[in-house]
Structure 1
Amino acid sequence: MSHSIFVEQLTPDGEVLHRSKVTHLPITIGRAYDNDIILDDPHTAAHHAQIELNQLDELIIADLGSYNGITYANTRENFFVVGGDNIYRLGHTRLRIRTANYKVAAEVTDLTNHRWEGLLPALTGLALLLVTGLLSTWLADLNQGTLSKYLLELVSVFGFAIGWSGIWALFGKLFTGHARFGRHLFIASAGLAFLELWEHLSGLVAYAFSWEALLTFSVHPLIFICAIVLYFHFLTAGNKRPNRLKIYLAAIAILGSAITMTKEYQASNHLSDELYMSRIYPPAVRISRDHSLEEFMADMQSLKEKVDGERKDNPEKDGAEKKSSEKDNPDQDGGDAVESDAPADTPTKPESNN
């Protein structure tokens, strides 16, 4: 009886490394060269397993007495009834067995915009870089800048984006055979534009609505924007596990934020990047209501009471701070006291020779 059996060797991510078609049973699997399927895995036996029909005419994969055996779903058995979607592990090798009548999934709709390739995204990215570089230089320029200053800023931005995109294009060419430099350049340009937009827009919104957290925790949104940019770079470079990639990048972004807050807390006993809003805009930008002098004085009084309470609760700390201040400035109090005890006009008594 003739059979068409396909034995597939898979990667840990489920991608097919090699597919072998065999038209007879039984099928032997192992490292020895007299097997039908030869494995290059030192963790498999010379004759590790065999694919055959059992008494119920079911296709099974059976162990031939190997040391590491056959595992499916973290369970080791002497044999398993073959399922088209089941993945069996022999040593470090992952196998999937299918017959010719296996029904494949329906065709997946191609959502890729193939027109968005090559020159069009590259030119769009360069235009974004041009606008972003000129705008950021103009906003940061307090004086009348020269043409060379703007050109130098554009050259640095263009050089960084092109170099960064070139690295990703090389990465994609090596692993997928497609460089897609234009898309990578557009992704990098869009990321830089969003970073600049967030830097200026967050300060403006924070000042307008008195949302201090937008400025005092300004680093964390930048970390997540960079994670999003990396996500699209990996997808363009050929990553086929977007859901897993999202989890990895989100975990890295959260870890980066946690490390940033830890470093800030060690340096200033605060989790925020800045202790106060340092960017001032014209009063016409303000949307939140102004606070009266009475409210300001009430806030100062509550702050004074809080500080006085901490001094009462920790008098030793307050005394240590005073001693430290006197040690750093010895002439501030001690020198003046010595000078006041000895008037300048008082004659000194000569020493006796006896």
Structure 2
Amino acid sequence: MGTLALIETLDRDGSVRQSHKVQAWPVRVGRSLDNDIVLDDPHVAAFHFTVDANEDHGVFVAVGDTVNGVTVGAQRLAAGERWHVGARPADITAGRTQLNLRLAEHTLSPEKALTASRVFAQSPSVLLWLVLLNLLSVGFTTYLATDPELLPRTLASNGMMLAAIVLVWCGAWTLLSKLFTRRGHFGWHLRVMLTALLALELLGFVASLLGFAMSWDWLTAYDYIPEMAIAALALYLHLQAVEPHRHRFTRGFAVGALIMGLAVGAWRHWQDHESLASELYMTALYPPVFRVADGVSADAFVERLAPFEKALDEKAAEPTDPDDEDGEAEAEVESGK
């Protein structure tokens, strides 16, 4: 007699961990060594379930003496219950172990096209260049924003902070990759993060420089949109090393994170200053030599401020909170003392 069925024990990612060819019925599954398939799962009974065939060659799953029962597809079976196998392979869950039962008469699904797998191994030279570029970026921005006396201490502090953030972030993703794929892919996660940091730094510089040169204040006012897009792309690339065979899931998760991030960012900006923009005016000023757009005369600038006068007058005419007035009066008395 040939092979009657195939029972496969699956990992959490769906890959086959153990395969058992069924040459005769019944097949007993459980933790006891007397079983045909032994499961090392503390949530599985000694004789958890049996797969057997009746006289008319119908195959069924019979649940043994177990507290947790058996789940077949979406149906929960308690101890003593039976479930007859249909025309398709059955997904069986016993305890925390997933199994797949496929009979010889089950029709095979069509072959799936093999998608190109991403190469996660990274060249040390590429990673070294990314580390150096990020250090130069942090050093340059720190130099621009720090007094000369405090520069050495601030450089060391910012460098150590960057190293700690990168190691913690990449370490967490490496642990996830190890759990799901048995490979850490630390170099891949390091490359993704360092590239994303450089892209964010370059985006901020280009947006502020072009905004200043062309008087396009919207470039910096809505810069959080491309920033969220870069973060979502980095999240997608990180997930590729955790779930390399579930492209649709990783893409959907990244797009959902992007939409959620944009919604939260827009809501926060509206709560702060009743505008979807991240800033009300351009905060980065460059030397006049970078200016391309035509300048505005003082009279024209004052003219443009005229529409704001009425709104400011109305705001100033609003009655103040009596509690605030009492507080101000008490503060004046205290200061007079």
Which structure is larger by alpha-carbon Rg, 1 or 2?
1
Deviation string, structure 1 residues 133-159 (Cα, Å, up to 9, x no partner): 454356x26888999579748954773
Contact kept in structure 1, 2:138 and 2:159, CA below 8 Å: no
- Aligned partners of 2:142, 2:312: CA distance in 1, in Å? 43
**Alignment RMSD (CA, Å):** 4.7
Instruction: Describe the shift of the 1:310–1:147 C-alpha distance in structure 2 as closer, same or farther (beyond 3 A).
Output: closer
Superposition deviation, residue 270 in structure 1: 4.5
- Aligned partners of 1:291, 1:322: CA distance in 2, in Å? 43
Partner AA of 1:97 in structure 2: L
Superposition deviation, residue 226 in structure 1: 3.2
Instruction: Describe the shift of the 1:122–1:154 C-alpha distance in structure 2 as closer, same or farther (beyond 3 A).
Output: farther
Instruction: Describe the shift of the 1:9–1:287 C-alpha distance in structure 2 as closer, same or farther (beyond 3 A).
Output: farther
Contact kept in structure 2, 1:3 and 1:22, CA below 8 Å: yes
Count of paired positions: 322
- Which of 113, 138, 163 is the aligned partner of 1:159? 163
Instruction: Describe the shift of the 1:274–1:160 C-alpha distance in structure 2 as closer, same or farther (beyond 3 A).
Output: same
Deviation string, structure 1 residues 154-194 (Cα, Å, up to 9, x no partner): 95477347635762585278434544444333323212211
Superposition deviation, residue 197 in structure 1: 0.6
> What residue ranges of structure 2 are gaps of 5+ in the alignment?
333-337
**Which aligned pairs between 1:219-238 and structure 2 lie closer than 5 A?**
219=224, 221-236=226-241
| SS of residue matched to 2:285 | coil
Partner AA of 1:94 in structure 2: Q
Find out whether 1:97 has 2:101 as its counterpart.
yes
Contact kept in structure 2, 1:172 and 1:178, CA below 8 Å: no
Instruction: Describe the shift of the 1:321–1:296 C-alpha distance in structure 2 as closer, same or farther (beyond 3 A).
Output: farther
> For residue 344 of structure 1, what is the aligned residue in structure 2?
none
Superposition deviation, residue 7 in structure 1: 0.9
> For residue 188 of structure 2, what is the aligned residue in structure 1?
183
> For residue 19 of structure 2, what is the aligned residue in structure 1?
19
Instruction: Describe the shift of the 1:51–1:298 C-alpha distance in structure 2 as closer, same or farther (beyond 3 A).
Output: farther
Find out whether 1:245 has 2:250 as its counterpart.
yes
Q: TM-score, normalised by structure 2?
A: 0.68
Instruction: Describe the shift of the 1:44–1:268 C-alpha distance in structure 2 as closer, same or farther (beyond 3 A).
Output: farther
Instruction: Describe the shift of the 1:297–1:320 C-alpha distance in structure 2 as closer, same or farther (beyond 3 A).
Output: same
Moved more, 24-33 or 187-196: 24-33
- Aligned partners of 1:223, 1:152: CA distance in 2, in Å? 29
Superposition deviation, residue 90 in structure 1: 5.3
> In percent, how many aligned pairs have the same letter?
22
Q: TM-score, normalised by structure 1?
A: 0.66
Partner AA of 2:88 in structure 1: G
Contact kept in structure 2, 1:129 and 1:193, CA below 8 Å: yes
Superposition deviation, residue 199 in structure 1: 1.7
> For residue 91 of structure 2, what is the aligned residue in structure 1?
87
Contact kept in structure 2, 1:265 and 1:271, CA below 8 Å: yes
Instruction: Describe the shift of the 1:294–1:231 C-alpha distance in structure 2 as closer, same or farther (beyond 3 A).
Output: same
- Aligned partners of 1:110, 1:128: CA distance in 2, in Å? 30
Contact kept in structure 1, 2:212 and 2:285, CA below 8 Å: yes
> For residue 72 of structure 2, what is the aligned residue in structure 1?
71
> For residue 52 of structure 1, what is the aligned residue in structure 2?
53
Find out whether 1:275 has 2:276 as its counterpart.
no
Instruction: Describe the shift of the 1:284–1:4 C-alpha distance in structure 2 as closer, same or farther (beyond 3 A).
Output: farther
Partner AA of 2:15 in structure 1: E
- Aligned partners of 1:2, 1:206: CA distance in 2, in Å? 74
Instruction: Describe the shift of the 1:287–1:148 C-alpha distance in structure 2 as closer, same or farther (beyond 3 A).
Output: same
> What residue ranges of structure 1 are gaps of 5+ in the alignment?
333-354
Contact kept in structure 1, 2:138 and 2:158, CA below 8 Å: yes
Deviation string, structure 1 residues 194-234 (Cα, Å, up to 9, x no partner): 12111211212223344434323444543443343343234
| SS of residue matched to 1:281 | coil
Superposition deviation, residue 81 in structure 1: 2.0
> For residue 198 of structure 1, what is the aligned residue in structure 2?
203
Moved more, 20-29 or 66-75: 66-75
Find out whether 1:9 has 2:9 as its counterpart.
yes
- Aligned partners of 1:174, 1:325: CA distance in 2, in Å? 62
Superposition deviation, residue 82 in structure 1: 4.8
| SS of residue matched to 2:175 | helix
- Aligned partners of 1:62, 1:185: CA distance in 2, in Å? 48
Superposition deviation, residue 61 in structure 1: 3.6
Superposition deviation, residue 278 in structure 1: 1.3
Deviation string, structure 1 residues 260-288 (Cα, Å, up to 9, x no partner): 45445445444543222111234454455
Contact kept in structure 2, 1:3 and 1:23, CA below 8 Å: yes
Find out whether 1:216 has 2:221 as its counterpart.
yes
- Aligned partners of 1:221, 1:197: CA distance in 2, in Å? 12
- Aligned partners of 1:227, 1:290: CA distance in 2, in Å? 38
Instruction: Describe the shift of the 1:104–1:161 C-alpha distance in structure 2 as closer, same or farther (beyond 3 A).
Output: farther
Find out whether 1:302 has 2:307 as its counterpart.
yes
Partner AA of 1:117 in structure 2: Q
Find out whether 1:108 has 2:109 as its counterpart.
no
- Aligned partners of 1:103, 1:172: CA distance in 2, in Å? 31
